[in-house]
Structure 1
Amino acid sequence: MYSSSSKTEMIFPLWHFDQWRAVDDRVRGGSSVSHLDPVGWKHESSNDVEKGEHAAARFWGNLDIETLGGAGFASQAYRYGPSPLKLPQLSYSGISLHYQSDPQTKYTCSTPTDFTFILKTTPTANIPKHPKTPGPPREAQLTYEATFSLPHSSSISMTEHHEAKFKWKDFKATYRGRHVPEGDEKWVPLDPALIYELSIMCRSDFGKQHGDFGVVITAIEAIKKDKSVELWDRVCGWWNSLSSWISGMFSWKGKSIRLEEVEDEEKRLIV
């Protein structure tokens, strides 16, 4: 990771475009298609164009809903391995995503403008080997998702900068595109210290959007906690652990006392 300020750490760039893979609904017989390409981008505050290895990423493609009867998704995935990306909650509070509209996309009232940022905390073995080739169907896994959007087509600016800040609690557990509430047998809390894959997706949301789409992602950053907050979290963690240990000791002692009482009562009855 590359440090961009005292409060964030850059996850991308460097983008390593050759390591991103298309994971589209074609793996399920659909016809949607996605791409992730390097592009230059203009800063909102100037006419300077950022280029080179720190260039932005253009996520674009076509979202089809006809083939699968209203459903459809197109996404690009980046897999970490064999070790995961580690963003422990004691040190990081979430992820920040910076993005702009895509100059090469013709926005209309029907252009998809809602996108999803996805984290996976379990290893994935069968991502397709070639960026443009859909791989075999992947086993359904619990994912953690947060959404971000471009403004309505009538107000889209080609140079306006947007930022979506996601706290860890903003990521909703999802299975096969549907929300998994806490308490469900499939639900598992997000552990950002074990991020094996992240992806950017454009999905139909069961027929609500379709067609050509595009968005330019200028950066993805991990949000660092202030040192005082991090220290307080550690103190709270230590205190909770100590409280649990003390509670367990009293509980065990109480059980021992009750056991002795039972044994005394048994002896009295025998006599």
Structure 2
Amino acid sequence: MHTLQLRIGEHLIQASGDLQNLMKMFKKNLLPTSVINEQPDLFIHIKDGYGVPFVDYSVDMVKEVNRISFRRADYLIEADSDYKNAYIYAYDDLALKHALINLYSSFIVSNNWGLLIHSSCVMDGGKAHIFAGESGAGKSTAAELSYPRELLSDEATLVKITADEITVYNSPFRSEMEMDEVSQLGSLASINILYQAPYNERVALRKSNGFILLMDKVFYWAHDAKETGKIIGLMKLLANRVPIYELHFQKNDTFWELIS
């Protein structure tokens, strides 16, 4: 049995597991922290040997009075309804990563803290800029072309949403690019919906249109009206406070001339 404390955004998570190879995934992708006299926000217990290799992204949910479960072919999550304590049963490291994204996304929505958005995010001049889009639109490409600007995420952007400020945290949920520990957070200055094109153009969207385009970019599995209401409220705050653009871009770094 191994135990590790982790910091994701503002949250302290205590994870335990009975197999070394699963704990290696935490150590590689999440920020370990030594915290004294601080109560974890979430306890996660990990076990392997569940299910079959990845089949598809379909997730079945069952909500009971005090429990909620999320089941995919390669993982099972069983959590208390307040998301203070959860068990993850995973087939392999990929299943564990996806289960963690599912669990943490549900945790922050349930607590009305913020969202995980399927996107990349780059720091420029002390401000954060999100790049979102359909599959293949160029989220990872935009992140790579933004070097040497600091990268806060390349797959799942961690966004704290309040009525006063929208803040992006360094996300441990990575696809390929490793975490940069230089910048841990930044104020969100723009959201850019990507379209690869033979030209560069940035077009401001109406708040309502931006809201609609972002809805399917959020990592979240709706399971009741109350939770859905929370996510809509968070999305409205985000769309009202942060400008959203269509960004048509060439496959080079010249699109930053439209942003900086």
Shorter-chain TM-score bucket reads: under 0.3
TM-score normalised according to structure 1 size? 0.20
Greater RCO, 1 or 2 (C-alpha within 8 Å, sep 6+): 1
Greater Cα radius of gyration, structure 1 or 2: 1
TM superposition score normalised by structure 2: 0.21
